[in-house]
Structure 1
Amino acid sequence: MWFSRHCAYTMSKYGMSMCVLGMHEEFRKDNIAVNAIWPRTAIWTAALDMLTEGKGKQMSRKPTIMADAAYIILSRNSRDFTGNFCLDEDVLKEEGITDFSQYSYEPNAELLPDFFVPGAEFQAYLPWKKMFEKSKI
């Protein structure tokens, strides 16, 4: 199965998703919004650096894309926008942002889709597989 190498991580993401669904209803009466944000592509972090032994950076985006998307989500009306699962890129597109080159380390490089975006597990499988096979984990 596609999540066999990261079962605990998958379970934690599922648990966080269930928290969004439950907490958005629990806190709705207090006008507190609870939403989730996911990256559409790989985001360069220390964890990804370790997993790819530094080879995934050019195929990843900068963490600032998540910060910008989170700012937009947090600026929305909490009464109207709660219980949502958002993709960083989609949030930015809704605000009219179409040039994502500022978020790339290599503007023309092919980006790795995030494993947890529907359909991405098949698109991303081969590049990730090659990197994982060469890694120490």
Structure 2
Amino acid sequence: MWFSRHCAYTMSKYGMSMCVLGMHEEFRKDNIAVNAIWPRTAIWTAALDMLTEGKGKQMSRKPTIMADAAYIILSRNSRDFTGNFCLDEDVLKEEGITDFTQYSYEPNAELLPDFFVPGAEFQAYLPWKKMFEKSKI
């Protein structure tokens, strides 16, 4: 299975997803929204830097894409928008933002899809497979 090397990480993401589903109902009566946001592609972080030994930056986006999408989600009416699992790109597109080059380190580079996003093509991971296999994890 594709997540065999990432069992603990996969379990943590699943657990967080279950928290969104439970807490959005628990806090609905208080008009407190609980939503989740996922990146469509890899986001350049210290963890990815370590996993790719500094070579993954060109295939990643800047963390600001997540910040901008989170701002939009947090600005929505909590009575109407709760219990959702959102992708950063989709949230921005709904607001009319379709040019994502400002979020890329290398504007024309092929981005690595996030492994936990439905519809992400596992084949896109294959060119980077050797890099991840050599990682320290």
The normalised TM-score by structure 1 is: 0.96
CA gap of 1:78–1:31, structure 2 versus 1, over 3 A, is: same
| Residue 128 of structure 1: how far off its partner (Å) | 3.3
Question: Contact 2:60 / 2:112 at 8 angstroms: preserved in 1?
Answer: yes
CA deviations over 1:71-99 (Å, ceiling 9, x no partner): 00000000000000000000000000011
In structure 2, how many angstroms separate the alpha carbons of the residues matched to 1:109 and 1:48?
17
| 2:112–2:125 contact (8 Å) kept in structure 1 | no
Shift in Å, 1:127: 2.6
For 2:123 and 2:23, the matched residues in 1 are separated by: 32
Structure 1: segments with no counterpart, 5+ residues = none
In structure 2, what is the equivalent of residue 37 of structure 1?
37
- Please provide the CA RMSD for this pair: 1.0
Check conservation: 1:2, 1:121, Cα contact below 8 A: no
Cα displacement (A) at 1:58:
0.3
2:6: which partner in 1?
6
Once the two structures are TM-superposed, the CA of residue 121 in structure 1 deviates from its matched residue by 5.2
Q: How many pairs were matched up?
A: 137
Q: Distance in 2 between matches of 1:24 and 1:123?
A: 34
Structure 1 segments, 4+ long, off by >3 Å, are none
